[in-house]
Structure 1
């Protein structure tokens, strides 16, 4: 009996350790070279809220009856705006309502970050004629628009993007958006020392998250039979999809001191 209890305790501890490891692994380790420019950015990027919609009581009833998991916020919104009245005289009443083909849910399989996704700026200081170190600072020379997107065409692209954005933001805890802008004149008061007799180059990159997973599609029907209501999903298909999602208001800095022009 004691041996069985010890095995059970070890099993529970291993389960918690696995859960903790998986959760920690899903969070992105942000390098020290990544800088938050949200306050300094001369272009005010709109904040991206997680697309979460609470189903109504009627919508919950239908979603719980579905034979396939449904998480698409647009479909949930449609169900929230719908209603069917119950009546004691509905015996023998039957109806099938076709709502169309929808992306039902997205399953994230792999999430990684490319901190040098797109170079957006280069600052330069020539100190070859100097006898003492000089300071080089970041200043955005031109406005840069950084765009992400899906890696392949897919039906109902906008809804799929919302579900992928939701999954990537939860896994990385980073501010993500499919479009972000670094405004001209944006500055950061972090000095980079350029030694005497050398050239200093400060490169700024916009990071982006690479999200990969599977999206499930299906034809959605609302079936009414008497006072009973349910969702039936037919012709279910699954497609692999990837996306690049820029990190909003963050820059990765790379500094190089060189004796020769680069």
Structure 2
């Protein structure tokens, strides 16, 4: 009987250990999923912002049937929204009787696609505001709140010169927004007089500093370039990409309508 009881206890202990390991792994996976989770020190100011930023719509276009057929015919991936827009606006009429008909049309050199290799966040990308309270002569704590003293225009951009920069920025914006789930824009403005009700207490005999920062995403990856040709052979049509090259690139993309706060209570001026 004792042997049976010992066996049951051992089995229960083993199951408990497995359950604990699974739970730990689950927490680790959850942590990985929350890599881009907004920390508590970062607040959304979209409603309070005195400058109404336009909503940033991702420049993704759904290819038309013709555009999809042409894109699928290419051996090189094509994601450029502007090139897709041109293909969407095109029409090609062919006939099965066009035997021997051949044409090659040069559409230009394009940044065709962007492959993301690293995406990170800097919640204190640029300092935009400082609120200050002097409570050195006080006998009780006083409160300090965020009040944007001057309008700030936060700009992101590419970290190096590259061919077709606007096309590249659009593709990088799409990939970074998809990976992070954050509202991203290469430009965002925080209006003067923007306020938030979050309260920070400054103890007596202290100086209170409330710093505001604009957060941003750091995006790094590789752009594929190529010369694009539309090839027509009888009733068949396809895209051919020649002289394919690759170039590494990085970018800073601000997080729209968000402010990261840092609070310090100091005995001496900073």
TM-score w.r.t. structure 2 length? 0.88
Q: Distance in 1 between matches of 2:223 and 2:164?
A: 11
Find out whether 1:37 has 2:45 as its counterpart. yes
Aligned to 2:253: 245
The secondary structure found in structure 2 opposite 1:119 is strand
Structure 2 residue runs of 5 or longer lacking an equivalent are 1-24
Question: Larger radius of gyration, structure 1 or 2?
Answer: 2
Match of 1:72 among 80, 83, 99: 80
Please tell me whether the aligned partners of residues 148 and 243 of structure 1 are also in contact (alpha carbons under 8 angstroms): yes
| Superposition map of 1:1-262 within 5 A | 21=29, 24-25=32-33, 27-262=35-270
Deviation (angstroms), 1:89: 2.4
**Aligned pairs, how many?**
245
Residues 257 and 22 (structure 1), Cα distance of their counterparts in 2 relative to 1, 3 Å cut: closer
The secondary structure found in structure 2 opposite 1:78 is helix
Residues 36 and 179 (structure 1), Cα distance of their counterparts in 2 relative to 1, 3 Å cut: same
Structure 1 residue runs of 5 or longer lacking an equivalent are 1-16
Please tell me whether the aligned partners of residues 58 and 80 of structure 1 are also in contact (alpha carbons under 8 angstroms): yes
Q: Distance in 1 between matches of 2:49 and 2:212?
A: 13
Cα deviations by residue, 1:183-233 (Å, 9 ceiling, x for unpaired)? 000000111000011110000000010000000000000000000101000
Cα deviations by residue, 1:40-83 (Å, 9 ceiling, x for unpaired)? 00000111111121111111111110010101110011011111
Please tell me whether the aligned partners of residues 182 and 249 of structure 1 are also in contact (alpha carbons under 8 angstroms): yes
Aligned to 2:12: none
| Runs of 4+ with deviation above 3 angstroms | 20-27
